[in-house]
């Protein structure tokens, strides 16, 4: 489900797809994102039908290295990848589009991005409606993104809604669409990044839990121990997992 890919590979992959106007669906998954697929077979199917799933969290990277002997020396963190891609888009003259969050958060993102990348072409920014989009709204949104001239799309709707979004829009947009998790929150400056040493030891989840306990406690209380248990069982050869999933029977909330 998770691909062996680093920042350099991800930036090159997305940039090439943007230049060639290729539809590509990507997501940066940490432990919580991986576990959404474990507990929901329809969502597992979506995740495994994305073009690339990036190892966003350190525990995800560690599992790849332990289970599959991957040579990854760093995770591919959604917020950092977003900044790297914006820098490359500025360099290459590739317009970008942002969908999700609130208007004020997008305004702060625009200000912060243009401060660091003054020649970055932001083709559009549109906040989430925080409700289910109907069929007409879905088509109209895809039309607005296409007509904006954007060559890559960043989606920040929270997990799993953003993964559902890039899965459902993958055939409507001739560009790479990336579900980048908390990138909107961090780039806008709403929340601080964890210190690098905390990120490196895989304890960013604890730092974020301390900043947003009301929103994140369920993720960490249930998903983290379950993830560690399942990885251990697989490492010991005591359990294997079906990676196929079940095709979704209907479209779910993604707005």
- The share of the chain scoring above pLDDT 90, in percent, equals 70
Looking at every residue in the chain, the average pLDDT score rounds to: 88
Question: Is pLDDT larger for residue 244 or for residue 161?
Answer: 161
Q: With 80 as the cut, is the pLDDT of residue 27 above it?
A: yes
pLDDT of residue 223: 74
What are the structural domains, with CATH classification, of the chain? 7-182+196-203 (3.40.50)
Reported confidence tier of residue 217, pLDDT bands at 50, 70, 90: very low
Question: Which pTM does this prediction carry?
Answer: 0.89
Q: Answer yes or no: are the C-beta atoms of 177 and 166 closer than 8 Å.
A: yes
Give the tens place of pLDDT for each residue, 30-78. Answer: 999 999 999 999 999 999 999 999 999 899 999 999 999 999 999 999 9
Q: With 80 as the cut, is the pLDDT of residue 18 above it?
A: yes
């Amino acid at each position: 489900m998770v691909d062996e890919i680093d920042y350099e590979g991800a930036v090159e992959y997305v940039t090439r797809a943007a230049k060639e106007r290729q539809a590509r669906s990507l997501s940066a998954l940490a432990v919580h994102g991986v576990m959404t697929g474990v507990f929901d077979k329809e969502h597992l199917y979506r995740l495994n039908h994305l073009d690339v799933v990036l190892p966003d969290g350190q525990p995800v990277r560690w599992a790849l290295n332990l289970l599959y002997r991957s040579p990854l020396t760093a995770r591919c963190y959604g917020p950092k990848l977003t900044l790297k891609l914006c820098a490359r888009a500025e360099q290459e003259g590739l317009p970008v589009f942002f969908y999700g969050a609130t208007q004020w958060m997008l305004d702060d993102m625009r200000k912060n991005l243009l401060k660091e990348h003054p020649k970055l072409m932001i083709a559009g920014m549109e906040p989430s409606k925080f409700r289910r989009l109907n069929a007409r709204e879905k088509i109209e949104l895809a039309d607005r993104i296409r007509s904006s001239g954007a060559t890559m799309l960043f989606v920040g709707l929270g997990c799993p809604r953003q993964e559902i979004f890039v899965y459902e829009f993958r055939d409507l947009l001739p560009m790479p669409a990336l579900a980048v998790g908390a990138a909107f929150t961090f780039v806008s400056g709403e929340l601080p990044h964890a210190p690098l040493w905390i990120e490196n030891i895989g304890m960013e989840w604890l730092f974020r839990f301390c900043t947003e306990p009301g929103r994140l406690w369920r993720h960490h209380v249930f998903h983290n121990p379950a993830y560690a248990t399942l990885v251990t069982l697989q490492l010991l050869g005591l359990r294997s997992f079906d990676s196929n999933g079940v095709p979704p029977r209907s479209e779910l909330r993604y707005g």
